[in-house]
A and B are shown apart, each in its own frame.
Chain A
Amino acid sequence: MLQLIVNRCLQGLLTLVLASIIIFAATEILPGDVAEAILGQNRNDAAALEALREELGLNRPAIVRYFDWFFGILQGDLGVSLSTDRPIADMMSGRIWNTARLAIMTACVAIPLALILGLISAIRAGGVLDKSLAVTTLSLIAVPEFFIGLGLMTIFAVELKWLGANANIRPYYDFGRIVHAMALPVMTLGFAVLAHMLRMTRASVINIFTSPYIEMAVLKGIPKRRIVMRHALPNALSPIFAVIALNLAYMVSGVIIVETIFAVPGLSRLLIDGVALRDIPLIQACAMLFGAVYIVVNLLADIFSIIFNPRLRFPK
């Protein structure tokens, strides 16, 4: 099993390297370079362009610059932003916590709720609750996040004035005020994640219900609660971990919209601003960070699956 986990970790590392190559290449194959982006209007001045390229080291071959960038990241040096001229690591450090708080709070609310509701849906498949949850989740998946976000904002922040519409948390906020400000963003992000996760949990548990050993347990006359908790759930854990990972990863992109709606000064706002200003080093650093989170979450899910599902330990 250890061998398998080590293998999977090495695979994860390889994926990270591949992701870094893709990010670097995507900004490299395109016409124009960072020097032209900095000069903007004055890009036709060949001498200035050449001098700037010299200064930024852009005259070196792409592969040298890639390794330079990649090893820089490994040492915590994310480069310097073109638009603000500040080290990117400094710009990020203040914002990481804002994004992380949103993601962690959403995960803490949405994951347990999705698992419980998914389990109930699966046990009472075809019932009223199951059917109404099916319709609700289907519509939640179908609509854009900003529709949910703006709808919730109009109802709870503008009309009823119960919750805050601005989730820019100040350090002096007490707990009550944080909850007041974070409730809507967490709900918006949570609804989308919840819907996916609930449906997948339901599907994987129902899938297990149809297997022969559950039928055997039913025929033995074991009470339903015990069948679910002792027989079905342990085997459903591994697909459920995959579901959780998929949705945490989904949050990585969902968070961009939510941060925009509720004015959270987080990492994805930094990325969006970078894209709007064509600040390539900033885009690369942000994309690499989000990509790394996505890859690590998927890696952890696979490792948990290997631990909880003995069948995965002996690949054919």
Chain B
Amino acid sequence: MSDVADKPSASKGLKSLRLTPTASIAGIILIFWILVAFFGPALAPYGEAEIIGESFGPIGGEGILGTDKLGRDILTRLLYGVRTTLFLALITTVISFVVGVVLGFSAAILRGWFDICISRLVEAFMAFPSTMLALVVIGAMGTSITVLIMTVGLVLSIGVFRVSRAIGMDISVMDYVESARARGEGVWWIITREVLPNAMPPLIAEFGLRFTFSILFLSGLSFLGLGVQEPAADWGLMVQENMGGIFLGSSSALIPAACIASLTICMNLIVDWFQQRQQGETVLEKME
């Protein structure tokens, strides 16, 4: 009897995780970059800031992918840069989720003045472009990695707050939350035990989207010369450094730009796949 009951649910679980061709290609590319982030520096033929030849050397010359403005190896800097790019994007997204989700869920559960105060404040911040907000803070505090991480994390958390508050609002009116409240559980208990597990699917998708946005945002700032600073390698910074090389026929700016694009396109495809899977699952559940 238990066998019969287990089988369909097991196959449903598998089905909901089944990969589509696009999602698997995107996943492979993403895993590739993550592996490079871990082992890249060990594989790199030269040092991060080591000058190996002429500036803007061609592909297949001094370096396999050519050299940059200062004659550093592009491949080496790409291998080092993925670490910076992925690490910064990850840590800013995590910060934005810790801040955004805690405040968003608290606002949804507590309601009242707490909700009103934070929501109004967030609306005021939403009233002007997030890039502007980041630029003002970076302009006032200078370009250090800590400032960069905190600024981007807080700018991202504005969006996360709105999403998690909306999700929290939906869940907080459910019977199981009501009964937890009636039992006299505290806010923290309700958030971690009742709301969070049920909010997981949309939050995971949101995490993927914010992560992608963070990559774009950070590389945009680096591209403007306001993000990661020399001599560290970062993909956005590499584009900025080598932009002048385009007119000399060098692809040293396009290669890191294409790498960022590959990262963000793959992330988008995976989030898309995940959302469709989740939707498919909920539709199936409704039918049963």
- Given the known A-B contacts A154-B246, A294-B128, are A142 and B140 also in contact in the complex, defined by CB atoms under 8 Å? no
Which of the 9-residue segments A46-54, A69-77, A254-262 touches chain B?
A254-262
Q: For the complex, give the distance between the alpha carbons of A287 and B137 in Å.
A: 11
CB nearest to A257 among chain B residues: B220
Q: Is B261 positioned at the interface, with any CB of A under 8 Å from its CB?
A: yes
What number of A residues sit within 8 Å (CB to CB) of B? Answer: 47
Q: Is A116 positioned at the interface, with any CB of B under 8 Å from its CB?
A: no
On chain B, the residues within 8 Å of A250 by CB distance are: 129
Q: Is the CB of B140 within 8 A of A146?
A: no
Q: Is the CB of B124 within 8 A of A257?
A: no
Q: For the complex, give the distance between the alpha carbons of A103 and B133 in Å.
A: 20
List residues 259-316 of chain A with CB under 8 A from any CB of chain B: 260-261, 271-272, 274-276, 278-280, 283-284, 287, 290-291, 294-295, 298
- Given the known A-B contacts A143-B264, A144-B220, are A256 and B140 also in contact in the complex, defined by CB atoms under 8 Å? no
Q: Is B125 positioned at the interface, with any CB of A under 8 Å from its CB?
A: yes
Q: Name the distance in Å between B110's Cβ and chain A's nearest Cβ.
A: 23
On chain B, the residues within 8 Å of A26 by CB distance are: 133, 136-137, 140
- Given the known A-B contacts A260-B223, A295-B127, A295-B128, are A142 and B265 also in contact in the complex, defined by CB atoms under 8 Å? yes
Interface residue from A15, A142, A249, A260 paired with B224 (Cβ < 8 Å): A260
Per-residue contact bits, chain B 249-266, to A (CB 8 Å; 1 contact, 0 not): 101011001101100110
Q: Is the CB of A144 within 8 A of B130?
A: no
Q: Name the distance in Å between B254's Cβ and chain A's nearest Cβ.
A: 6
Q: Is the CB of A291 within 8 A of B257?
A: no
Q: For the complex, give the distance between the alpha carbons of A278 and B258 in Å.
A: 31
CB nearest to A283 among chain B residues: B139
- Given the known A-B contacts A142-B264, A158-B247, are A287 and B224 also in contact in the complex, defined by CB atoms under 8 Å? no
Q: For the complex, give the distance between the alpha carbons of A146 and B223 in Å.
A: 8
Per-residue contact bits, chain B 114-134, to A (CB 8 Å; 1 contact, 0 not): 000000000011011111110
Q: Is the CB of A276 within 8 A of B226?
A: yes
Per-residue contact bits, chain A 125-144, to B (CB 8 Å; 1 contact, 0 not): 00000000000001101111
Chain B interface (Cβ < 8 Å from any Cβ of A): 124-125, 127-133, 135-142, 212, 216, 219-220, 223-226, 236, 239, 243, 246-247, 249, 251, 253-254, 257-258, 260-261, 264-265, 267-268, 272
